[in-house]
Copies of this chain bind each other. A is one copy, B any other.
Amino acid sequence: MEARIRMPKLQERIMSADDAAGFIKDGMIVGISGFTRAGDAKAVPMALAERSKRLGTPMHIQLWTGASVAEEVDRVLAEAGIVTRRLPYQSDRLLRDAINRGEVMYTDQHLSLTVEMIRAGQLGRLDVAIIEAVAITEEGGIIPSTSVGNSPTFALMADKVIVELNTRQSALLEGMHDIYLPGARPHREPLPLQEVDQRIGTTFIPVDPDKIVGIVLTDRVDHFVDMVPGDEETDRIAEHLLDFFEYQVKTGQMPPELYPLQSGVGAVSNAVLSGLKHASFRDLTMYSEVLQDSVFELLDSGVLRFASGCAITVTPEHASDVMRRLHEYKDKIILRPQEISNHPELIRRLGIIAMNTALEADIYGNVNSTHVGGTHIMNGIGGSGDFARNALLSVFVTKSTAKGGRISSIVPMVSHVDHTEHDVDILVTEQGLADLRGLAPRERSRLVIEKCVHPDYRDAMIDYVERAEQRGGQTPHILEEALSWHERYRETGTMQVRRPQLAGQR
């Protein structure tokens, strides 16, 4: 234990998860480590749920995290009805349902912004921070585990800090983090980072050791979810995108090593990244958030030279292999606070190629990444806005249809906007790739229909656009029809028009 808790006086603060949970009182704001289910504080939140059940006293807290956390945290706390507000990102099915029923207030935020708002006092005062660590240094600095997330600012701002020392997390993680906190505004210095593989901070989270009120020993592993495997359609999406990149390089529009890549969450993104295996690129770099399975495959094969991220989230089948070979990745990976991995300043400076997933996009290239049917949250905007707005090239991918073809993922008007046409340069479905850069909306719609819309929906879409254009406008629409595809799906279970005359008309 001396190797893990290197500041002797802190060894006295080891306590049970239940005792540590005792620091959390009704009405408090609690911030926990965790990003895409990696490195999350698990033991104390679960103990909190049990404790509250056992004591039978009311317990309502606001829960702040990095991004999504382990099922057993979000799910258990949601089931216990303990969390009244949750921010800035989640992806748990049960919590999602509670949010959509209006039981949990979910403040969905750009992932780089949460800590700015906290430090500016805009979100309230953080009472307790719970941070998973692999070690505590001689000076009391916290070495995080598989994610950094918002933990550095949580540690800074919280009244009390609880450390979950996870002995199952590899000690080799120490040294892979780079913790940097920007100064106070308005007299902040430029962020010194200029290269993807540059270190600008410390390997530990600085914290006043006197604030560490408890250390809980735990050996719970990260609870990663299985990834939906790629399929023919995601392969085609990847192909279109790789062809495009190759063409950019061939015509001198991009350097052979491209630009630093960001790749979003989800099955489609992971499949697209995997597609790089089959391309001829070498020595690429990533400046991204979450490092998924495919990142490690690409590092192994030399396609990737370096990956900067905020969390390591690998599926169970890859996890043990990655963790066993962590020493091999030590000089190929840096984990940063999500504020830094997602910082507009850095994304703009580095010239990132951002690749994110849409639930649906419209003919003008507006993107909905979050709200099914315009109302029900799936996960959240996450870092997609940080990246799409500031990237050198912003790509969105989606399959052209969902739910067995009954939904067209390209619609006349998206039912919810997360990313406006200004932030969407390239739209890709398995049908093709639309390069929308520099185009006006009336040109964008033609190209999106030609390249991206599924053939089953193409005629109806052309019909819509032609009639809309007769009404005029920079962005032609027939407002009373614009959302009718969604209404039709809601009422009939499919967006397809069954009226035969439509096909006949054309």
Are A108 and B474 in contact, CB atoms less than 8 angstroms apart? yes
A190-B350 Cα distance, complex, nearest whole Å = 10
Give the oligomeric copy count.
2
Interface of A is mostly: loop
A43-51, A218-226, A293-301, A481-489 - interface stretch: A481-489
A291-B441 Cα distance, complex, nearest whole Å = 30
Partner of A105, one of B392, B440, B472, B484: B440
Question: Chain B nearest CB: distance from A472 CB in Å?
Answer: 5
Given the known inter-chain contacts A377-B475, A440-B85, A472-B375, please indicate yes or no for A482 contacting B483, CB distance below 8 A.
Answer: yes
Are B392 and A120 in contact, CB atoms less than 8 angstroms apart? yes
A487-B439 Cα distance, complex, nearest whole Å = 28
| Residues A89-115 near B (CB distance < 8 A) | 99-102, 105-110, 113
Tell me if A458 is interfacial: C-beta within 8 Å of chain B. no
Partner of A107, one of B105, B418, B438: B438
Tell me if A201 is interfacial: C-beta within 8 Å of chain B. no
Are B371 and A117 in contact, CB atoms less than 8 angstroms apart? no
A191-199, A274-282, A398-406 - interface stretch: A191-199
Tell me if A172 is interfacial: C-beta within 8 Å of chain B. no
Task: Count chain A residues whose beta carbon lies closer than 8 angstroms to a beta carbon of B.
Answer: 84
- Ordered by A's residue number, 22 sampled pairs between the chains whose C-beta atoms are within 8 Å are A102-B472, A106-B474, A108-B422, A108-B440, A110-B389, A117-B437, A120-B351, A120-B392, A122-B437, A185-B349, A186-B259, A187-B194, A344-B348, A373-B473, A375-B471, A375-B475, A375-B476, A377-B473, A377-B474, A377-B475, A381-B420, A417-B420
Q: A117-B438, A187-B194, A345-B345 are in contact. List 6 more A-B contacts (CB 8 A).
A: A107-B439, A343-B348, A344-B348, A377-B473, A416-B475, A417-B420
